[in-house]
Structure 1
Amino acid sequence: MSLTFRKSIRILPGVRLNLNRRSWSVTLGGRRGPRRTISSTGRRTTSVDLPGPFGFRRTTTRRR
């Protein structure tokens, strides 16, 4: 069993700074409605939770 480090800090309402061992990311948006996540590794994710078991997520990664 490996140990992991993950920390999420609320900066402002609707803005979170997410930290882990290798990278950081910023999430804009709340629990309801659309969310946008931008990571230090180049990953950008847009997600929306829909009623019931439905949801939408689109992820793009920057090429290096």
Structure 2
Amino acid sequence: MPLTFRKSFRILPGVRLNINRRSWSVTVGPKNGPKRTWSSTGRTTTSMDLPGPFGYRSTRTRRNRED
């Protein structure tokens, strides 16, 4: 079984700093509502929990273009 590391810190109400072995991210939003996450890897995620077994998640990844 691989070892994992993940830690989450509450910076301000509604703002969390998440750290894992390879990257870090900042999440903004209430506990039960829409959230926006920006990752050091370039990924941006918007998510929202809906009543019942429903949820919404949209993820975009920044592409490094070298022209």
Q: TM-score, normalised by structure 2?
A: 0.93
> How many positions carry a matched residue from both structures?
64
| 1:43 CA drift (Å) | 0.2
What does 1:15-54 correspond to in 2, within 5 Å? 15-54=15-54
Q: Secondary structure at the match of 2:58?
A: strand
Structure having the higher Rg: 2
Q: Which runs of 5+ in 1 are unaligned?
A: none
State the alpha-carbon separation in 1 of the partners of residues 21 and 30 from structure 2. 24
Q: Which runs of 5+ in 2 are unaligned?
A: none
Q: Secondary structure at the match of 2:3?
A: coil
| 1:45 CA drift (Å) | 0.2
Aligned partner letter, 1:46: T
Q: Deviations over 1:1-53 (max 9, x none)?
A: 11001000000000000000110000001221100000000000000100000
CA RMSD of aligned residues (A): 0.5
Q: TM-score, normalised by structure 1?
A: 0.97
Structure 1 or 2: more strand by fraction: 1
State the alpha-carbon separation in 2 of the partners of residues 48 and 19 from structure 1. 21
